[in-house]
Each structure stands twice: as C-alpha cells, then as structure tokens.
Structure 1
C-alpha cells in the first residue's frame, strides 16, 4: 500500500541527514524529489504542489535547535504536513444520541460498497456493541441483494430486503423495520453506476430525503487513484457527503488517493478497507498513517491488532522468555503463527518502528510455509538451542525439509534479527511496547 512512497521519502530523509544544515540551496533538490515521489504515488498535482510549498515554508522558516539534526527536523516537518493533509485528527462516526442512527453508503459500481456495508456492520457490532440492520436498496445490480444477505448471515446481522423496484420504498420500510426491532443502526446499501450520472444522483437525493441519514459515506476504490478523488468530488457537490471510506488499500494502490481526497473535498476519511475478508476495515487515523508513510511504524495499531488475536497468558510467557533470553525457534515459530493471524506480513512489519531498516530477506507471506517446514525438520534440542546448528546439521535440516541450505541459513539469520529486535524493544518499552510483550 505505501511501500513506494515510503521508500522514496526514506531515501530523501537519509540524504538530508548528510547535510550540515537545512538551507535554501540544498532544500530545493529535496523538495523536487518530494514532489516527484508524491506524483509517482498518484497524489493530485495541486495537492503535491501545495504540500511542497508548506514543507518549504516550514523548512526555511524554522530555527533549528542545536540538539536536533537536519534529518530529525525535516522528518518532523514531513510528518506534520502528512498528518495535516491526511486530515489532522481521526474523525469518528456521528451517532444519534436518542434513537436510530442511519448510515448511508454511496459510490460507483465496483468500489466494494456492498461488502463494505457488511464490514461496517461487523465493525460496529464488534467494536461499538451496536446492533445494525442492513437495508438492501441496491436494486440496479441483480446480485447485490443476495450478496448482502449472504454477508449478513456470515456476521449474524439482520438484512432487510423486499421484491420491490422502488429503492425509496425499500428504504422507508427498512427504517420502519429497524425501529420496530429496536436496532441501534441502519446501514443503507445504495445502487452504484459505472459513472456519475443525473439519474443516479436524483435517486440518491430522494433516498437521503426520506432517510435523513446521520452519515453519508462515499465508498471510493483506493486503487483508482485520481478517479477516486474526482468521483468523490462529484458526489460531494451533489449530496454533501460527511466522510469517505477508502477500499482496496491493501493492493497496488500507492496511497495517493488518501493524501489527496481530504484536501480536495474537505471531507474526512473515516475508514480504510485493508483486505477482502469481512474483518478488514479499520478506523482511519491520519497520525498513524503519516507515521507509517515515513517508516516510523504504527505501534498503537500494532498493539490493537495483537491484542485481538493473542491471549494475555501467551504475552506474559513471551515477555518472560525475552527477559530471560530464552527466546527459541519454538517461540519464533509460534510468533509467525500469531503474526499470520494479524494480517499480511508486509502490513504488520510496516507497523513496527525501524522494521523497514531490517534486512528481512525473503521472509514474506508466500514462503512462511517453508519456514515452518524447516523448523519442523529440526530436533527439539536444535529448536531450543539454535546455536548448536553447525554446517552438517544445516545440511541434514535442508534435506529433511526439502529446502536448500541457503534457506536454512536465511531462516536462522532472520530468527536472530527478530530476537535482537524484540530484545531492543523490550528495553525501550517505556517509550513503546512490542505487541507480543
């Protein structure tokens, strides 16, 4: 999601660290590189220009403390501007204080709107304890109603649908049913189109008029880059949206839509979809997102994810092993299994401060199976004390696992790196705490 922009900005910061101080002469090259990095990440041209102007103004206008290096100063400036352009502070959903909260989702066809309705209902149920009713008002796409019913069953959330060609009537009746059942929230799935058209907007306006929603959320496909920005602007001009959900942010999207959309239409990003499964919807935190773009990690999100998949007893046992320096390959294998539960490895590693500097080699999702195969081919003694694994043992392990010796060597190196990283983070846990500790 962010790798390309993160790599470019990390290189820029590294280069400026070599400068004695920030001056107008050396900052011009840096600003040009930043502008190129933003444009390659599919950031809107006007936004990229404005971003660079802000950075230049701050970089040349601030006095630098003797205790702060140019690299530290410039990193702080970039972080502040990224956070500002992403929206500043997280904007939570607005709930009705006394009755039914109505949330309407709108968007173009293919943006993942119907799936996002289910993700949102699950999120509200799991994280907020809210009981939702999903209203199937997308009557344009034949499979939309069946899809929403299937999603509702999978998350144990009721779905209201009827054989009616009038989406306005469906919404009216659905809201009456939500109130009758005493639901906390009604989530309305509306029809999408292949492009913005007058009929679509008129239908949406009519649905909004009868439903009076607390939130009108535009669902934008993060992989479409500037198309997502342009379509969100068109929707906002027509129906005055209250926020945005960016979907498919786990794919090849370069992050440009997230940086552009808030600044262009002045509406907050409230959620991002980070995967196809129903649990892959996260609150959008500009500060955390900015931190990850700069390779500074996102410890808060990391801890939240870890706490959702790892029990307290396991955390305490691991912390004790790291303190006693008895973290073995058995524990390493256990942690790989826990990390797999948290999501894609690249996403998890991106949340760990400094992990982008580690040379993790070929340690990725697609080859976690051979990692487990290699460890399974070791004796119990070797797993407990990897230091005894010499050349002949490595050959035997490679033969037993069906993997080359080079992969055995790489695994042992990665184990040492992870052990060292966890030991370092344990020492600094007053500043931040590793999620498995």
Structure 2
C-alpha cells in the first residue's frame, strides 16, 4: 500500500543521507523533493505545502543535533509530520449503544457492502459482539444478495425486507428487530450513487435522522484521487460523520488523497481495507501507517495478527512433539494455514522492517504455498507423520503426484529438516537465552514466550 509515495519519499530522503550536517541548502532541496513526492501521490497541494514547511522549520531548528545523521533526523521529522497528518492517535468506534447502531455511507463502488461484512466479522471475532447486518440499498438488488452471501460466509444474520422501497423504515425496523433478538450491534449498509446528488443526500440524511446512529462511517475508495476528498466534504456536510474507512489500499494507488481527507474534514481514519477476504480489515493507527509509508515496517501489527491465530492448546501439543522429535508435515501444514489466515502475503512481509522495499517489485501471490501444500498432500499419512522414511523412491512418487520436480521435493525436505533443527534448538537453553534477549526489544506474545512457531 502507498508504494508510489513510499518510493518517492525514499528517494527524497536519500538525497540528504550521508551529508555531514544539515544546512539550509540541503534541507531546502530535500523538502522540495518531499513536497513533489506528496503532490505526485495525490496529496492536496496546500496540505503538502504546509507539511513540508513544518518539516523545514523543524529540521533547521534542530541542526545542533549530532547523535543522528541528517538522513535519520529528516526521516524522523517527516515521520512525525505524517503521523500528525493522519490524525496523531488511533480513535476507535463508539459501541456504547444498546444496541450500537453503525451507519455506512459512501459512493457506489467504494466498497461499502464488503466493508459492512468485514466490520461485522471483526466485531464478532475480535470484540465478541453479536452483530446484525441490514440491507438498505433498495435500488441495487445485487447489493442485498451480496450482503446475504457475506452474512452466510461469516455466520452473521442479514435483515432485509423483500419489495420494500423506504430505506429509513427498513433501518428503523431492523433496529427494533435487533433489540428483540439480542443483537448488540446493528450495521446499516446504505445505497450509493455514481456521483453525489440531492436525492442521495436527502435519503441518507433521512436514514440518519430516523435511526440516530452511534457511529457514522464514510467509506472511500483509495483509488479515486482528489474526487475522494470532495466527496468526503459533501458527505460530512450532510451527515457530520464520525470517521473514515479507506478501502482498496492493496490496489495500484497513489493513496495521497486518502491521507488528505483527514486534514480536510478533520475526522479520523478508523479502518483500512486491503482485500476481498473477510479478515482483510485493519484498525487504523497513524504511527504504524507512517512507519510503513517510510519503509520501516509494522512489527506491532504483525505480532497482533499472529496473536489472533494463536491457539494455546495447539501450542502445547506442538511443543511436546518438537521435544520428542515428532514434528511432522501435518503439523507443518497447520503452521502454513495459520500464516495464510493472517492475510495477504506481500502485505505481511511488508510489515517486516527493511523487507517492504526489497520486495516492492516482486509479485507475491496469496497462493505462494500451493506448491508446498501439493507436495505434502501427495505424501501418505505415514510419510507426513514420519518424514524420515521418505527415500528416493518415495520422493519420485510424491513429485509425480504433486506435478512437481524431484528437486522441489528435495528442497522442501531440506527446508523442513533445517526448520526442525532450529525449532529443536529453540527449546534448549541457548534458544531460551536468545528469546530472552529478543524479548527486551520486541513485544512479547502472551503465552508464546516469543517463539515464532507457537511456543
């Protein structure tokens, strides 16, 4: 996400790296490049100009610092200003109602319906809520069908009224239904248009008036450029919404307009959506996003995603298997499936400091594990349980069954053996000592002792 902006800022900051000290001349050159990078990435010109003016003033005001290189100092200043541009601190959604009513608004094609499903799934899985989805798009039958499909996928009920044409009445009835059926959150998906019009605004204002939502979220397609900012202003004037949701951040987008919205409407960005999977929704943290834009990674979010997939009972079983040298390919498959549930592979790797830049031009598919899985599934249950019995004859059979070369099987076996040795080492005194050292500088995963493989 924000790949274009990341590349341009990286080049701009590279110009001042290696300089012996900060001067008015090299600061002015760098600031000019940063401003150009922001504008090229679709950040509003006035916003970019104000941000770079603050960067310049701070850089020249701190030229006495000698503990950092000019490049490091400038990067920190730009980082801090990006954090401020995106809101400074994280702001959550209001779930104080009984039930809490959340109204979803935005243009057609912005991803409202998909986000509604993701939000319901997020609240169910991570906040232990009992959500109800409400289909209030009476103009596009496909939207109702889509919401029902998402509801089926996530096990969340969808309230709709066949043949009804008044979205305000549907929403009101849905809230009554939620109270009767003990739903603590109501998520109302509304109709969008291809452009802002009076009828659209009057309709959404009517729904807002009748259900009096605890939270109104404006969903914006990150790829729509400066039009997104104008749309946000119009919706905010009509609804005075509470927060912004950025969708399609995994697409080929410059992304700057999405960041500009925060400073224009003065409303926080609350969620970002990066794919079609129901799990592909992240709470928005300005500081973490600034880290990622500047190529610093996002270790905290990576750890949080790992925690979500962590099962303490499974981890204890895995520990015993490792101790007894009984870790097999079935266990390996479980680890792969846990990683896959964490999200888009390139997005995950981009959270590792320094890796994002290295893989920015590499296409990493979500099915990156499919060849490994095919090889493992070609093994017999006994071979998966006891990899040591896999000889050359068995490898040839496995390769044919998976449609791969024997070299691929050999490579997997070698990697599996190396991983087994590493996991075994992590159980010993040296591994525990190393993990203790690492834990001093990294957030510790409760119950996992820091071990990447579930211990």
TM range (shorter): 0.7 to 0.9
In the TM superposition, what whole-angstrom CA distance separates every residue of 1:368-426 from its partner, at most 9, and x where no partner exists?
5456779999x99xx99xxxxxxxxxxxx9xx944999xx7xx98xx99xx9xx99x95
In the TM superposition, what whole-angstrom CA distance separates every residue of 1:240-272 from its partner, at most 9, and x where no partner exists?
111111111111122213321101111111111
User: 2 CA distance for matches of 1:102 and 1:363?
Assistant: 40
1:123 Cα deviation from its structure 2 partner: 0.9
Secondary structure of 2:91 counterpart: coil
**1:128 — aligned with what?**
127
Residues 403-414 of structure 1 aligned to structure 2 (within 5 Å) = none
Report which stretch shifted further, 18-27 or 246-255: 246-255
Q: Which runs of 5+ in 2 are unaligned?
A: 389-398, 444-449
Q: Does 1:430 align with 2:429?
A: no
Q: 1:363 to 1:168 in 2, by over 3 A?
A: closer
Secondary structure of 1:90 counterpart: coil
Asked if structure 2 preserves the Cα contact closer than 8 Å seen for 1:172 and 1:211, the reply is: yes
1:17 Cα deviation from its structure 2 partner: 2.0
Q: 1:16 to 1:158 in 2, by over 3 A?
A: same
Q: 1:109 to 1:32 in 2, by over 3 A?
A: same
Asked if structure 1 preserves the Cα contact closer than 8 Å seen for 2:13 and 2:75, the reply is: yes
User: 2 CA distance for matches of 1:154 and 1:428?
Assistant: 39
Asked if structure 2 preserves the Cα contact closer than 8 Å seen for 1:93 and 1:215, the reply is: yes
Asked if structure 1 preserves the Cα contact closer than 8 Å seen for 2:4 and 2:253, the reply is: no
Q: 1:195 to 1:348 in 2, by over 3 A?
A: same
Asked if structure 1 preserves the Cα contact closer than 8 Å seen for 2:21 and 2:63, the reply is: no
Asked if structure 1 preserves the Cα contact closer than 8 Å seen for 2:119 and 2:281, the reply is: yes
1:341 Cα deviation from its structure 2 partner: 3.1
Asked if structure 1 preserves the Cα contact closer than 8 Å seen for 2:120 and 2:156, the reply is: yes
**1:234 — aligned with what?**
234
Secondary structure of 1:43 counterpart: coil
Asked if structure 1 preserves the Cα contact closer than 8 Å seen for 2:205 and 2:239, the reply is: yes
In the TM superposition, what whole-angstrom CA distance separates every residue of 1:275-332 from its partner, at most 9, and x where no partner exists?
111121111111111111111111111011112234447778999999xxxx999999
User: 1 CA distance for matches of 2:145 and 2:270?
Assistant: 27
1:344 Cα deviation from its structure 2 partner: 2.1
Residues 297-336 of structure 1 aligned to structure 2 (within 5 Å) = 297-312=297-312
TM-score scaled to structure 2, two decimals?
A: 0.79
Q: 1:317 to 1:125 in 2, by over 3 A?
A: closer
1:158 Cα deviation from its structure 2 partner: 1.9
Secondary structure of 1:144 counterpart: helix
1:65 Cα deviation from its structure 2 partner: 2.8
Secondary structure of 1:16 counterpart: coil
Q: 1:320 to 1:228 in 2, by over 3 A?
A: farther
In the TM superposition, what whole-angstrom CA distance separates every residue of 1:36-86 from its partner, at most 9, and x where no partner exists?
221222222222212211211111122443222222211210110110001
Asked if structure 2 preserves the Cα contact closer than 8 Å seen for 1:86 and 1:258, the reply is: no
Asked if structure 2 preserves the Cα contact closer than 8 Å seen for 1:112 and 1:221, the reply is: yes
Secondary structure of 2:340 counterpart: helix
Q: 1:152 to 1:336 in 2, by over 3 A?
A: closer
**2:115 — aligned with what?**
116
**1:181 — aligned with what?**
181
User: 2 CA distance for matches of 1:117 and 1:131?
Assistant: 14
User: 1 CA distance for matches of 2:102 and 2:362?
Assistant: 43
Q: 1:254 to 1:374 in 2, by over 3 A?
A: farther
In the TM superposition, what whole-angstrom CA distance separates every residue of 1:179-202 from its partner, at most 9, and x where no partner exists?
222221111111111100001111
Asked if structure 2 preserves the Cα contact closer than 8 Å seen for 1:221 and 1:248, the reply is: yes
User: 1 CA distance for matches of 2:155 and 2:219?
Assistant: 23
1:136 Cα deviation from its structure 2 partner: 1.4
User: 1 CA distance for matches of 2:171 and 2:283?
Assistant: 26
**1:344 — aligned with what?**
344
Asked if structure 2 preserves the Cα contact closer than 8 Å seen for 1:105 and 1:187, the reply is: yes
RMSD, matched Cα: 3.8
